[in-house]
Amino acid sequence: MHKHLPITVLTVLFICVLAAAPHAVSAQEQEAQKAVLVTGASSGIGRKITEVLAANGHFVYAGARKDKDLAELNKMDNVEAVRLDVTVQDDIDAAVARITEAGRGLHGVVNNAGVGVFSPMNETPEADIDFVFDVNIYGPYRINKAFTPLLAENKGRTTTIGSIAGFISGRRSGTYSMSKFAIEAYTDALAAELAESGVLVSVIEPGGFKSKIREKVVLHAMGKTLDQAGDLTAEEQEQLNKMKERNESLKEPDEVAEAALHALFAEKPKPRYMVAPDAEEAEATIRAALTRVAQLNADQPYSYTLEQLNNMLAELVAEQ
C-alpha cells in the first residue's frame, strides 16, 4: 500500500480533500436571472443542473435534441429549450443567433452532453470512437468556440462535465476515458487562453451518479437507442434490466449540480471539481492521479526523492 509516496503526502492530500467545504455559493454570488446554456439537458446530470439553476432564479437555455424533451423543458419556469445537437454546426449557429437576439446576454455554459461505449480497445470499431469523440470532445470545443464572444461580453464562465474517467482508465472503458482525458487537456489549454478575456474555465469530474448513460451504453452495444428499447430479445432485456438496477442504486446527481453552481457563480471557481459519490471513488481517482506521478518519477535521471515529492505536493495542496 502507498508504495511510491510516503504516508504524509497522502495524509496532507486527504485532509485537504476531507476538509474542503461543500461547493456552497452565497446568495450574493448568485445574481438572479443570469443566463446559462446547458447542453444535454434532457436527462441525468444536465436535467438536474437545469432544474437547480432554474430553481435558484437563473435563466437556463436548455439544450435538447428531441421534440418531446424540448416540450418538457419548456414547461419549466426560467427555462427556454433550445434545439441543440452538439455535433451539428447548424444547430449551434442557430442557438448562438437565438441567444444573441434574446438580448439577456450569456453568463455561463455547461458542456454536459455526453455519450459512452464500453468495449475492449482492439474490438472497438473506429465509428464508435468517432461517435464518442464527436460528442464528448468536439462538442465542448464547438460550443465554447461559438459562445466565447458572448461569454466574454459578461466575463462569464464555462464548465465541462468531465469525469473521474478523465483520470482512471481500464478494461473496456478506454474509448470513454480517452474522451474524458482529452477534456482535461482541453480545459487547461482553454483556461490559459481565455484568462485575458476574463472568461473562467473549469471542469467537473463526477463519479457514478444516476442517469440514462449506462442504459444507452448497453443499448448502443446492441445497435439500439433508448427509443428502441421495447424491441429487445429476452437476453438483451435481462442485460438492460441489470444495468437499470445498477443505475437505480446510484445517488441523484445533486452534488454535481452544486458543483456546477459553484463553477458558474462563486467568486473564485475551482479549476477542477471532483464530485465522487463515496470515499472509494474519490480514493480511486486520487490514487490513479498519484500513480502517474509515481510512474513518471520512477527510475529516471531526474527523479525526485520522496521528501522532495512530499514538499512539492504540500506546496501544491496549499495553493488550492
Ligand X SMILES: NC(=O)c1ccc[n+]([C@@H]2O[C@H](COP(=O)([O-])OP(=O)(O)OC[C@H]3O[C@@H](n4cnc5c(N)ncnc54)[C@H](OP(=O)(O)O)[C@@H]3O)[C@@H](O)[C@H]2O)c1
The catalytic residues are 176, 180
Site of grid cell 449506462 = 214
Residue 60 in the binding site for ligand X (CB under 6 A): no
Q: Which of residues 84-113 bind ligand X (CB under 6 A)?
A: 84-87, 112-113
Beta bridge partners of 159: 110, 202
Question: Do strands 79-83 and 108-111 pair parallel, antiparallel, or not at all (unpaired)?
Answer: unpaired
- Is 40 a residue that touches ligand X (CB under 6 A)? yes
Position 49 contacts ligand X (CB under 6 A): no
Of 10, 34, 36, 114, which one interacts with ligand X (CB under 6 A)?
A: 114
Q: Which stretch binds ligand X (CB under 6 A): 28-36, 146-154, 205-213, 285-293?
A: 205-213
Instruction: Say if residues 273 and 203 touch (Cβ distance below 8 Å).
Output: yes
CB-nearer residue toward ligand X: 135 or 266: 135
Q: Which is nearer to ligand X, 183 or 199 (CB)?
A: 183
Q: Beta-carbon neighbour count of residue 277 at 10 Å?
A: 19
Contact between 42 and ligand X per CB under 6 A: yes
Interaction of residue 43 with ligand X, rule CB under 6 A: yes
The yes or no reply on residue 202 touching ligand X (CB under 6 A) is: no
Scored b (16 or more CB within 10 A) or e, 233-269 reads eeebeebbeebeeebeeeeebebbbbbbbbbbbbeeb
For 75, counting Cβ atoms within 10 Å of its Cβ (0-12 exposed, 13-18 middle, 19+ buried), the class is exposed
Quick one: 109 or 161, whose CB is closer to ligand X? 161
User: Which residues sit opposite 37 in a β-bridge?
Assistant: 61, 109
CB of 59 to ligand X, least distance (A): 19
CA-CA distance, 271 to 273, in Å (whole number)? 7
Distance of CA 237 to the CA centre of its chain: 29
Contact region for ligand X (CB under 6 A) — 101-109, 124-132, 203-211, 229-237?
A: 203-211
Options 44, 108, 174, 269; binder of ligand X; rule CB under 6 A: 44
**313 lies in the binding site for ligand X (CB under 6 A):** no
Closest to 57 measured CA to CA, from 71, 73, 77: 77
CB 113 within 8 A of CB 95: no
Of 38-46, 92-100, 190-198, 294-302, which part binds ligand X (CB under 6 A)? 38-46
Separation between Cα atoms, residue 186 and residue 198, nearest integer Å: 18
Residue of the chain from 2, 66, 104, 145 that contacts ligand X (CB under 6 A)? 66
Instruction: Find the Cα–Cα–Cα–Cα dihedral 18, 53, 213, 67, rounded to 10°.
Output: 180
At 83, list the grid cell. Answer: 434545439
Work out whether 135 is an interface residue with ligand X (CB under 6 A): yes
CB 39 within 8 A of CB 110: yes
Q: Which is nearer to ligand X, 260 or 290 (CB)?
A: 260
List, in sequence order, every residue forming a beta bridge with 275; answer none if it has no partner.
206
218 binds ligand X, rule: CB under 6 A: no
Q: What is the smallest separation between the CB atom of 284 and ligand X, expressed in angstroms?
A: 13
Q: Whose Cβ is closer to ligand X: residue 36's or residue 135's?
A: 135
Q: Least distance (Å) from ligand X to the CB of residue 88? A: 8
Residue from 208, 266, 273, 313 touching ligand X (CB under 6 A): that is 208
C-beta separation of 256 from 206 below 8 A: yes
161 makes contact with ligand X (CB under 6 A): yes
Contact residues toward ligand X (CB under 6 A) are 39-40, 42-46, 65-66, 84-87, 112-115, 135, 161, 163, 206, 208-209, 211-213, 216
